[in-house]
Chains A and B, each alone.
Chain A
Amino acid sequence: MCALASGAALGVGEFPAPLAAQPLLGGAQKQDDAQFTVEAKFYQKLDNKKIKCKLCPRECTVGDRERGYCGVNRGGTYYSLVHSRVCAAHVDPIEKKPLFHYLPGTVAFSLATAGCNVNCKFCQNWDISQSRPEQVPAEFTPPKRVAELAKQYGCRTIAYTYSEPVVFSEFLMDAADAGHNAGIRSIVVSNGYMQQESLKAAYGKMDAVKIDLKSFSESYYRDVVTGQLKPVLDSLVTLRKMDKWTEIVYLVVPTLNDDDAGFIGLARWIKTNLGLDVPLHFTQFHPEYLLKNLPITPVPTLERAKAIADAEGLHYVYIGNVPGHPAQNTYCPKCRKMLVERIGFTASQNLIRKDSCPFCQHPIPGVWHT
């Protein structure tokens, strides 16, 4: 689940706190759409001024002046409406993404635009992810400015998060370039529901990736997510081949994706296709959006999921959204000593040295120090 777009908003002029997970009272501000509009990178022109979007597997065919799940087609040219259109910006601990094996203890300049290419019934940020860009207050924040702000706030990374970065791929790619030029890395929190070409082009510019694998069931993806599982699995395999540091989050929703068979299938698939060292986070669901009728995930359910994944041999299985739970810490898979202690979203202690356990010298995968 994407981290909630709330909390410590930036109190700077550009982003008066709290910036805009919630639309301002009195209606969305009138915005100059032109400054946010750039031609999309991934689409194909069709007859009759139609286009076929090639960004995600949905492949929306969009008529003239219509929109797909995101973007708008004008006269056979497809446009992104969200380039530099930042509707949420915060400085977050990187553990909040969550990325546990990537620069622990650092903060990420975290931003979002409106829009998403799926419609998860449990979305925490539905008010920005399920809205059109013009319905959400936003500020013009071009890539160079993003990099400047990240640097100004002492961030090692720019995080594309909260809504769904797939839909702002053009902006993400440009901001990543600007960040790299300024010595700032980029990380993305995504559903991974992309076509292979766009994935390679856009996430090829990322330094680390967190994928929300929302279930191991196609029916869940169809009914709860409004997407498909297979392309997400393909994305994970491709990211692995691209040697991108990748972590996986699985939001455990009571009664919908909390069965043992699903946990076993998931763990075995990861073991077979990605290896034992990919961190897997089982996180706790909270009733939101269209699933307010379900309870919070019981902690024993999360512990059962972890036990199953541990038993399948995965080395780094975490429990998330449960502050203080010992399964938030990183342990050496060989000697079982605690290596990184986390309290809430803070890495309070990091004992890893030279990418290894200081007690038994077992290598610990990840990017631990800048």
Chain B
Amino acid sequence: MSAKRNASRRDFLKQCFTGAAVLRASGSMGLLASAQQAASAKSRVVIARDDLLRGTGSTVDSRRMLGLLDRAMQTLCDRDHAVEAWSKLVRPGETVGLKVNALGGRGLSSNLQLIEAICERLQEAGIKAGDIVVWDRETDEMERAGFRIAMGGNGVQCFGTDRLDYEQELVTHGSVGSRLSRILTQRCNVLINLPVLKDHDGAGATIALKNMYGVIHNPNKYHPNGCDPYIADLNMLPEIRTRMRLTICDATTAQYEGGPAYKPEYSWRHNALIVSQDPVALDYTGWQIIERKRAEKGLKTLEAEGRAPHYIATAADAGHQLGTNDPGRITVAEV
């Protein structure tokens, strides 16, 4: 990984615009991508950290979270103000789905303060509150993770696919044949992916790409062989690709072993957000973070355990081109 620790924002931006090749990443990279991919040789991954994110307590401070998110987004989008950054990603009138990950309960699900911060900035960028839907598979699971369910009215919507069901028709790509959440197909035309950085006993790591398992009715069918090539094939579905604009990975609390369920003994407070428009580059970067933590704890690498996340390479291969896993083509900025 080409991590460039302590890089200044100016240095980072300089790096971003010095390449020649154009990355052929996902089908629709969104408004920002269309403007920047043409000039950028590399995929950008921003890691924003704040060691004081929780102050002296255990709860994430909302104001500091907003500041952390702003720092990440301004760096990613090369803007001095947060709303300007968001305005490059979304337009008024669009409906935005925030696909969270609530599997890990209160300990290891997409951070609530982060979601509040995103909703705040989306509204400032012109998205109506009622056009934002925070969602995952099951409403009960979301409630257990601390989400306050809201369906109807003018406020931000928050519920699981069980409330709207899945489409009746199958969609297929490669090894995958699934019914898609109607929240995805009927309630949002922009998708912002909000995974959690964590270990996965089968896939090795579950970050951005695998979070799309929460979009389909039959994820249990796609866990053999370390979820490969299923994860990559799933992310190729046009209904997902054309909506995906951004991934904001919640690494405020991350987990390096024993996932995907929450295991306090294997989690740590990383106090970070990892942001990118290239989900493959983000997953590769997140995987390296997990590996470093595993090494620090004296654990074997995921490869040595026979569960390296090979699906990341598949997502980058010629048959998928969902992004890059080549560290030489990933620019990581830590801010």
B residues 161-213 touching A (CB-CB < 8 Å): 162-166, 168, 170, 172, 177, 200-202
Most buried by B among A70, A121, A290: A290
Task: State how many angstroms separate the Cβ of A337 from the closest Cβ of chain B.
Answer: 47
Task: State how many angstroms separate the Cβ of A56 from the closest Cβ of chain B.
Answer: 12
Q: Mark B94-107, 1 if CB is under 8 A from A, else 0.
A: 00000000010000
B residues 213-229 touching A (CB-CB < 8 Å): 217-218, 220-221, 223-224
Contact B258 A26 (CB under 8 A): no
Q: Chain A residues with Cβ under 8 A from B168's Cβ?
A: 23
Contact among A26, A68, A134 with B220 in the assembled complex (CB-CB below 8 Å): A68
The closest CB in chain A to the CB of B140 belongs to A33
Contact A63 B172 (CB under 8 A): no
CA distance A68 to B163 in the complex (A): 24
Contact B217 A69 (CB under 8 A): no
Known: A69-B221, A119-B221, A132-B218. A290 touches B177 (CB 8 A): yes
Contact B221 A65 (CB under 8 A): no
Contact B220 A67 (CB under 8 A): yes
- Interface assignment of B286: CB less than 8 Å from any CB of chain A: no
Contact B170 A290 (CB under 8 A): yes
Contact among A27, A126, A130 with B165 in the assembled complex (CB-CB below 8 Å): A27
Contact A48 B162 (CB under 8 A): no
The closest CB in chain B to the CB of A135 belongs to B217
Contact A134 B258 (CB under 8 A): no
CA distance A68 to B221 in the complex (A): 8
- Interface assignment of A289: CB less than 8 Å from any CB of chain B: yes
Q: Chain A residues with Cβ under 8 A from B220's Cβ?
A: 67-70, 132
Task: State how many angstroms separate the Cβ of B167 from the closest Cβ of chain A.
Answer: 11
Known: A23-B165, A27-B164, A27-B165. A48 touches B218 (CB 8 A): no
Binds A, one of B11-19, B63-71, B111-119, B259-267: B259-267
Chain A interface mostly helix, strand, loop or mixed? loop
Contact among A27, A58, A63 with B260 in the assembled complex (CB-CB below 8 Å): A63
Known: A49-B261, A290-B170. A65 touches B103 (CB 8 A): yes
Contact A63 B218 (CB under 8 A): no
Contact B258 A48 (CB under 8 A): yes
CA distance A13 to B220 in the complex (A): 33
Q: Mark A63-91, 1 if CB is under 8 A from B, else 0.
A: 11111111000000000000000000000
Most buried by A among B168, B221, B259: B221
Known: A50-B201, A69-B221, A290-B172. A135 touches B166 (CB 8 A): yes
Q: Chain A residues with Cβ under 8 A from B202's Cβ?
A: 61, 63
Task: State how many angstroms separate the Cβ of A299 from the closest Cβ of chain B.
Answer: 29
CA distance A69 to B168 in the complex (A): 21
Q: Chain A residues with Cβ under 8 A from B261's Cβ?
A: 49, 63-66
Q: Mark B46-90, 1 if CB is under 8 A from A, else 0.
A: 000000000000000000000000000000000000000000000
A residues 236-290 touching B (CB-CB < 8 Å): 289-290
Q: Chain A residues with Cβ under 8 A from B263's Cβ?
A: 48, 64
Contact B201 A61 (CB under 8 A): yes
CA distance A290 to B172 in the complex (A): 8
- Interface assignment of A35: CB less than 8 Å from any CB of chain B: no
CA distance A28 to B223 in the complex (A): 24
Q: Chain A residues with Cβ under 8 A from B172's Cβ?
A: 290
How many CB-defined contacts (below 8 Å) exist between A and B?
Answer: 62
Q: Chain B residues with Cβ under 8 A from A290's Cβ?
A: 170, 172, 177
CA distance A190 to B162 in the complex (A): 30
Q: Chain A residues with Cβ under 8 A from B200's Cβ?
A: 63
- Interface assignment of A131: CB less than 8 Å from any CB of chain B: yes
Task: State how many angstroms separate the Cβ of B183 from the closest Cβ of chain A.
Answer: 12
Most buried by B among A28, A50, A66, A290: A66
Contact B177 A289 (CB under 8 A): yes
A residues 123-142 touching B (CB-CB < 8 Å): 126, 130-132, 134-135
The closest CB in chain A to the CB of B177 belongs to A290
CA distance A58 to B220 in the complex (A): 13
Contact among A26, A60, A131, A226 with B217 in the assembled complex (CB-CB below 8 Å): A131
Task: State how many angstroms separate the Cβ of B214 from the closest Cβ of chain A.
Answer: 12
A residues 1-47 touching B (CB-CB < 8 Å): 23, 26-28, 30
Task: State how many angstroms separate the Cβ of A131 from the closest Cβ of chain B.
Answer: 6
CA distance A290 to B177 in the complex (A): 7
Contact B221 A28 (CB under 8 A): no
Q: Chain B residues with Cβ under 8 A from A64's Cβ?
A: 258, 261, 263
CA distance A165 to B177 in the complex (A): 22
CA distance A50 to B258 in the complex (A): 9
The closest CB in chain B to the CB of A136 belongs to B217
Contact B162 A28 (CB under 8 A): yes
Q: Mark B247-279, 1 if CB is under 8 A from A, else 0.
A: 000000000001111010000000000000000
Q: Chain B residues with Cβ under 8 A from A134's Cβ?
A: 138, 162
CA distance A130 to B165 in the complex (A): 15
Q: Chain B residues with Cβ under 8 A from A27's Cβ?
A: 162-165
Q: Chain B residues with Cβ under 8 A from A48's Cβ?
A: 258, 263
CA distance A289 to B172 in the complex (A): 10
The closest CB in chain B to the CB of A130 belongs to B218
CA distance A50 to B223 in the complex (A): 15
Q: Chain A residues with Cβ under 8 A from B165's Cβ?
A: 23, 26-28, 135
CA distance A69 to B223 in the complex (A): 8
The closest CB in chain A to the CB of B201 belongs to A63
Binding site for B on A (CB under 8 A): 23, 26-28, 30, 48-50, 58, 60-61, 63-70, 119, 121, 126, 130-132, 134-135, 226, 289-290
Binding site for A on B (CB under 8 A): 103, 138, 162-166, 168, 170, 172, 177, 200-202, 217-218, 220-221, 223-224, 258-261, 263
Given contacts A23-B168, A130-B218, A289-B177, list 14 more A-B pairs with CB under 8 A: A27-B162, A27-B164, A48-B258, A48-B263, A58-B224, A63-B260, A64-B263, A65-B103, A69-B221, A119-B221, A130-B221, A132-B220, A134-B162, A226-B224
The 5 closest A-B pairs by CB, nearest first: A27-B165, A64-B261, A65-B261, A63-B201, A67-B220
